[in-house]
Structure 1
Amino acid sequence: MSSLYAIAAVTTVLKDLLNNGLIDGDVATAVSDNVVVSSLPPNRIPGGNGEERSQLNLFLYRVTPNSGWRNAGLPARDHSGHPLGRDPLVVDLHYLLTAYGADELHAEILLGYGMQLLHETPVIPREQIDTSLASPGLLDDAADLPPTLRAIAGSALSQQVEQIKITPADISVEDLSKLWTSFQAPFRPSAGYHISAVMIESRRPPARGLPVRARNLTAIPFQRPTITRLLSQPDATTEASPHAPILPGNILLIRGRDLTGEQTHLRIGNRTYTPPPDNLGETEILFTIPDDLPAGLHPLSVFHEVTFGDPPVTRPSAESNPVALVLRPQFQRLPDDSYDLTVTDLEIDGSTVITGLLSARVSPGVRRRQRVELVLNEYDPPATRTARRLVYDANPPVIPEDEEETEMVAFPIRNLPVATYLLRIRVDGAESPLVHSTDPAEPGYVQPRISLGP
């Protein structure tokens, strides 16, 4: 890696490359003048009134991050923002090579020769960098050098991993005009060059952890569980079906492969459950839906944990693909097997229910910030028209502060035609199931339903 003097070192090497090329090519004879290679801002170069001399100027006008190396290193900071490593600063340099002439055509000769020299050196050899920064006697008599040259000589530019590459840059007329306007100097013929990449090593010492006192390695097979299907059964005597709704208290049958590990758990939303060992198998897991799981859509996955180390520590090892578990709410029933539904404050005007309040007891209970809706579908409508369908939002549930949920939900209804309706409750998008008729003479859904009228 290079030191913080690397940018100045690149400018010095490029100046030396141009200067040596002009001397070897005897360009001074063609322009009848001693050619100078400088690296000054254009507004500091004398010009006009016969004071301009023949020279090449190399000006660094822009520095940009190198996109290739920007994300190559490991994270240099921890979660608290403290530095961890010595992530280098890698930048690209943008130069403007400008030619000045004391006489006619001198600027064109110098610019053409300078561009040819840089064209013939697309990559600067490391030996040439060492030669430019450490001329004969430099290291032995470094004390006689100015402080700036001594610092540049120790930049270690030739030791960086990436070699210095020179690429011509296409600068539009508009961009050139903006540059020279900002320079506040008379325009001169120029060529742009892109130098990549300069790697500046961080001076901040890396953070070091405590030395490893003992090594404790545990090899475990890479066995990722996979869930392929979810089935539901009301009880252990009923056959599981992929079409049966998943309701509170049902038995959930999770099918897949490699489902069991040293310690097997289920993750449903942000809750973790551990099925009994007798319900675990390589291809299926039986799990009873708990009462504390709210209705709605939940991601479900199987994950394994292993315990190792001294002292023993439990760590996660593998987790399955997540699948969608839709826990559907349901209306609770009374001892006579009817649904716990109550209609109060009913106001009817002819064939229309003006206002009313329908209360229902549901399972699982409704929690705060859950969206609850009542869906009404007209039961057995006349053949001359389609069935009516209406949706009502529930009143905000009244939940005591010391409780998490409530089973009683109230729905204000208004402007509802007098009729018999099938009822469904929708909680966070999950709808309660309807009961299908087993009588061939009365096909379709038959329950739960309610008659609203006089």
Structure 2
Amino acid sequence: MSNGLAIAAITAVFKNLLEDGLVQNAALSSMGNVLVTTLPPDQISIGVDGQPQLNLFLYQVSENRNADLGKSDAKGGKLRNQPAHHQASTEEGTILPLAINLHYVLTAYGNKDFQTEILLGYVIQLMHQTPVLSNATIRAMLNHVATINRSGLLAQAIESTSVEALTEQLDQVRIAPNLFDTEQMSRLWSLLQGSYRPSIAYEVSMMFIASKKSSLAPGSSKEALNQPQIEKIVAWPTDGEIVAGSSLIIYGKNLSEDITLLRLNGGENLLEPQIVEDNRILFKLPQNLYAGVHKVQVVHQQLYKYQNCKDLEVVSNEQTFVLHPTIQFSVKEESCNP
């Protein structure tokens, strides 16, 4: 696992997603403040005057055996639709990516008619509209969590590392309902040893990027990155004209690294390729590029970024390509008056 705080971080993101969704839902304003907690169900008790409550409890962690960890195809060697950071290495000293599922039970508590039904209904709607959390969304939510309660346990733990370090090896997170039948839900609540309340189970799938066994201490020397080299660039799937929005294939040597990005025309904003292999990269051009001659570089970055480390990236030679203009025209119909 990339970071020991990853599971707690995902629980915090899930909780923050619920809190924001409830606050922004005007239909729930009549309920007042809805408390969202992450406690074991047997530790929750609501009195007569208790406020409505949602409780998110992580009850199991399992391995996701169905995840494609980006292993190379030894036979065909064809391009595979895997992000660059999922290219698993079998070299000595490398740990393959770990895919896990987090199993949550989400329970609604209320002491008035229809409170639990309304809460569960809006939560199910919210989660149905948010099936995937991108890396950028997770990073933004964790920054929010770390700032609203700096004295909290998770915020203090994050201070020992950083939100960037916590999320840089984490791919997108998928949230899916796990609809239990009566027997399955009964077994779950028997295991939890709590008083049954209306609940829904969710399964959160997360993927960690491959990492090295040996971790570097801050300020220590880092492993040298390979120098990438570009040999040629062609359009894909056909070797035709290159226009804005085209997919291109870069051919070369040492193109794959822990983090592989692309730089256009020496700019600061880097592009993430769709597929990365050691001798070729597939990427898509932005739609807003102007016609003319453009330059592209392959950029390798360190998977672990530490203070006092310099030269955190290695770049390839620049290779040029010609972007052809796209001609658009419209035919205006003119009416003829007799």
TM-score, normalization by structure 2: 0.51
Q: Which position in structure 2 is the counterpart of 1:63? A: 61
Deviation at 1:194, TM superposition (A): 1.3
Compute the displacement of 1:71 (Å): 8.4
Q: Which residue of 1 aligns with 2:241?
A: none
Is 1:110 matched with 2:122? Answer: no
2:53 counterpart letter in structure 1: Q
1:8-407 to 2 correspondence within 5 Å? 8-31=8-31, 33-47=32-46, 50=48, 52-67=50-65, 68-69=67-68, 72=71, 73-75=88-90, 84-135=93-144, 138=147, 144-152=150-158, 154=162, 156-160=165-169, 162-199=171-208, 204-205=213-214
Tell me the CA shift for residue 98 of structure 1: 0.9
Q: Which one has a bigger Cα radius of gyration?
A: 1
Q: Which residue of 2 aligns with 1:248?
A: none
Aligned AA (1:179): L
CA displacement at 1:74 relative to structure 2: 4.3
Is contact 2:97–2:208 with CA below 8 Å preserved after alignment?
A: yes
Aligned amino acid, residue 149 of structure 1: A
CA contact (8 A) 2:146 2:154 kept: no
* Deviation, structure 1 residue 170: 2.2
Matched positions, count = 198
Q: Using a 3 Å threshold, how does the CA distance of structure 1 residues 178 and 152 change in structure 2: closer, same or farther?
A: farther
The 3-state SS of whatever aligns with 1:187 is: coil
Q: Indicate the structure whose relative CO is greater, using CA pairs within 8 Å and at least 6 residues apart.
A: 2
Q: Is the 8 A contact 1:123 1:163 kept in 2?
A: yes
Q: Which has the higher strand share?
A: 1
C-alpha separation between the residues in 1 aligned to 2:28 and 2:118?
10
CA distance in structure 1 between the aligned counterparts of 2:198 and 2:89, rounded to whole angstroms: 44
Runs ≥4 residues deviating over 6 A: none
Superposition TM-score, scaled by structure 1 size: 0.39
Does the CA-based 8 Å contact 1:4-1:201 persist in structure 2? no
Q: Are the aligned partners of 1:162 and 1:197 in contact in 2 as well (CA < 8 Å)?
A: yes
1:61 Cα shift?
1.1
Residue 53 of structure 1: CA displacement?
3.1
The residue type paired with residue 64 of structure 2 is N
**Letter of the 1:37 counterpart:** V
Determine which structure has the larger helix proportion and give its number.
2
Distance 1:34 1:137, change over 3 A: closer
Cα distance in 2 between the residues matched to 1:185 and 1:95 = 15
Where in structure 2 are there 5+ consecutive unaligned residues? 72-87, 217-222, 225-338
After superposition, the Cα gap between the structure-2 partners of 1:39 and 1:201, relative to the gap in structure 1 and judged at 3 Å, is: farther
Is residue 171–residue 192 contact of structure 1 (8 Å, CA) maintained in 2? yes
Unaligned runs of 5+ in 1: 78-83, 212-454
What amino acid maps onto 2:140 in structure 1?
T
Letter in 1 for 2:24: D
- SS of the residue 1:119 aligns to: helix
3-state secondary structure, aligned to 2:9: helix
2:7 corresponds to: 7
**Cα–Cα, structure 1 residues 76 and 175, in superposed 2: closer, same or farther, change >3 Å?**
farther
Residue type of the alignment partner of 1:4: G
Aligned residues of 2:53 and 2:108 also touching (Cα < 8 A): yes
Residues 373-416 of structure 1: per-residue CA shift (max 9 Å, x gap): xxxxxxxxxxxxxxxxxxxxxxxxxxxxxxxxxxxxxxxxxxxx
